[in-house]
């Protein structure tokens, strides 16, 4: 029975990690307000190593629709500017020599709708990950050669856990879509 408990605990842990990953991925979707998390996926080459911007600069929000990136080493301003231009943010940075300013334009209704579709695709990918974890757990339980009743109840436990996590994913998505559509 210890093996069964290990399978259940590992499955729950993997599903929690999938949920956390989905939430982190959603922070990169712009909602019209400035958020330092928009820069999480952007890195620059710093002394031969790809380094995330947040590790080499302080990021402040001077206004609701602005980010100001002030690098600890001013010589990296140009590299930060180029990295932002090359990213999928769709924002033109303004380099003032001491830092880089990002002014996020107001989003149009059409853009908001596009982003909700993108979030929907991300939601489906997260659900697929959870379902794959369920499949792996079911396979592990079947390998344990448990009595039929124990196996059925364990598979039911895995299904309930899966349903709960998919429900959480749907709640997170609904919250994000509400943020996106709010003006």
Enumerate domains of the chain plus CATH numbers. 2-28+108-181 (1.10.132.20), 36-103 (3.30.1360.40)
pLDDT score, position 85: 86
- Residue range 108-142, pLDDT digits in tens: 788 788 888 889 999 999 999 999 999 999 999 98
Q: Report if pTM > 0.85.
A: no
Buried b (16+ CB within 10 A) or exposed e, 44-57: bebeeeebebeebb
């Amino acid at each position: 029975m210890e093996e069964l408990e290990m399978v259940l605990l590992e499955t729950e842990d993997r599903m929690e990690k999938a949920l956390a990953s989905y939430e982190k991925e959603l922070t990169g979707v712009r909602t019209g307000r400035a958020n330092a998390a928009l820069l999480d996926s952007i890195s620059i080459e710093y002394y031969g190593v790809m380094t995330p911007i947040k590790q080499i600069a302080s990021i402040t929000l001077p206004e609701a629709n602005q980010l100001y990136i002030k690098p600890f080493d001013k010589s990296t301003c140009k590299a930060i500017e180029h990295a932002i231009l090359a990213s999928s943010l769709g924002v033109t940075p303004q380099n003032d020599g001491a830092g880089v300013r990002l002014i996020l334009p107001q989003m149009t209704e059409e853009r908001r709708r596009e982003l909700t579709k993108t979030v929907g695709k991300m939601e489906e990918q997260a659900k697929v990950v959870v379902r794959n974890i369920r499949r792996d757990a079911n396979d592990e339980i079947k390998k344990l050669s448990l009595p039929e009743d124990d196996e059925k109840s364990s598979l039911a436990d895995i299904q309930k856990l899966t349903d709960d996590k998919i429900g959480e994913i749907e709640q997170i998505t609904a919250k994000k879509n509400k943020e996106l559509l709010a003006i």
